[in-house]
Amino acid sequence: MINSHNNSIEKLKDFNDLNELASEENNQVVQKEVLQNIKDLRILVKKNEIKCFLSNEADSLDCYIEIHAGAGGTESQDWADMLRRMYLKWSDQKNFRSDLISEHKGDEAGIKSSTIKIEGDYVFGWLKKESGIHRLVRISPFDSGARRHTSFASIWVYPVVDENINIEIKEKDLRIDTYRSSGAGGQHVNTTDSAVRITHIPSKIVVQCQNERSQHKNKETCMNMLKARLYDYEMKKKEQIDQNTEASKSEIGWGHQIRSYVLQPYRLVKDNRTNFESTSPDKVLDGEIDDFLEQSLYQVK
C-alpha cells in the first residue's frame, strides 16, 4: 500500500511535468491525454484509499445478510423485500455471486424474513456497517386511502467463516429441528421436512436453511452459518462493540434506524450516522449504494 502511494505521487509529478511542456508548446492533444491520465490515477488512488479501510481480519470474507420485517404487517414485509432486492442488485452490479439461503414469505406480499449469501472480493468489509434498522416513508400501495406510511426492517450482516478459522461447536449445545419448506422449490421441497433450523442454546443464535432439496445439505449450510454467526459474535466481543442483536431485532422501530429512505412527501435517502444524503432514492433502491458504503467506511468508530 505504501509503494502504491509513492508510485501515485511519482506519476502525478510526471504528469505535471508533461503538462507544463505540452502547455508551453500549446499541444492540446497531449494535454487531453494528461488530463485523462490524472482522472485514471484519481480512481486508482480512491481504490487504494478504500482498501486502507478494509484491512480488518474478516473484511476479505464473503457474507450473509439477514433481513427481518418490522412490525406493521404487509407494509414492512414489502419493505423487507425491497431491501433484499437492493442488495441483490448491488451484488449483480459488482459481478458478485448471490444465493438465497432461506425465506419466509409475507402473508399478502413481501417477506417476513430472508437470508442471502453474497460471494465476492471484500464483500463483508463493504457491507458490515449495513447492519441496523432501515426506515421507509412512502405513500402505501396497499392503502386504498393513499395515506403515507412508515415501515421498518432490520439488516444484519455477518462474515462467511473461512475454512482456516476453527470454531468449536459441541453437539450437546445444539437443538436441530426439521420442518417443511414454505418457499419455492418444487413438489419435493414442499412435501418433505427438508428444511433445517439449528439453535445454539448457549448463545441463543438460530440459523435456518431451506434452499436445498436435501435435508443433509440444508444442515451443512446451517452449520456453516452457525460457525459464521459465532465467529461474528466473538469478533465483536474482541472489538468491544456493545451490540445486543436480539434486542435490536425486537426493537425494529422508531429511534433505532441507521438510514431513512423517504419517497413522500419529498425524495431523500439519508444515513443517520454519517449524514450522507442522496436525492435519488430510486437509484439507491436499484443497488447504487456505493457512496453510502464508502462514507460508512470512512467514519471513525
98 or 2: whose pLDDT is higher? 98
Contact 199, 174 (CB under 8 A): yes
Residues 135 and 180 in one domain: no
Examine the domain organization and report whether 160 and 283 are in the same domain.
Answer: yes
Q: Per-residue pLDDT averaged across 196-206, rounded? A: 90
- CA gap 98, 87 in Å, rounded: 9
Query: For a pLDDT cut of 70, what percent of the chain falls above it?
Result: 86
Residue range(s) defining the domain that contains residue 42: 2-52
- Grid cell digits, residue 116: 442471502
Q: Which of the four pLDDT bands, split at 50, 70 and 90, describes residue 192? A: low
The residue-averaged pLDDT of 216-232 equals: 89
What is the C-alpha to C-alpha distance for residues 193 and 220, in angstroms, rounded to an integer? 15
Domain count, the chain: 3
For residue 301, pLDDT over 60 is answered with: no
* CA-closest candidate to residue 271, choices 294, 301, 240, 247: 294
Averaged over 83-110, what is the pLDDT? 94
Same-domain status, 145 and 234: no
Q: How many CB atoms lie within 10 A of CB 252?
A: 23
Q: For residue range 15-46, list pLDDT tens digits in order.
A: 777 778 878 778 888 888 878 888 877 777 77
pTM of the model: 0.73
Q: Is residue 87 part of a domain?
A: yes
* DSSP character string of 59-126: TTS-EEEEEEE-SSTHHHHHHHHHHHHHHHHHHHHTT-EEEEEEEEE-SSSSEEEEEEEEESTTHHHH
Q: What is the DSSP string of 167-189?
A: ----GGGEEEEEE---SSS-HHH
* Residue 21 and residue 141 share a domain: no
Q: Are residues 29 and 176 in the same domain?
A: no
For position 190, what pLDDT does the model report? Answer: 47
Share of the chain above pLDDT 90, in %: 43
- The DSSP output letter for 194 is -
Between the ranges 16-30, 73-87, 224-238, where is the mean pLDDT highest? 73-87
Of 28, 52, 76, which residue constitutes the final position of a domain?
Answer: 52
Residue 76 has pLDDT above 80, yes or no: yes
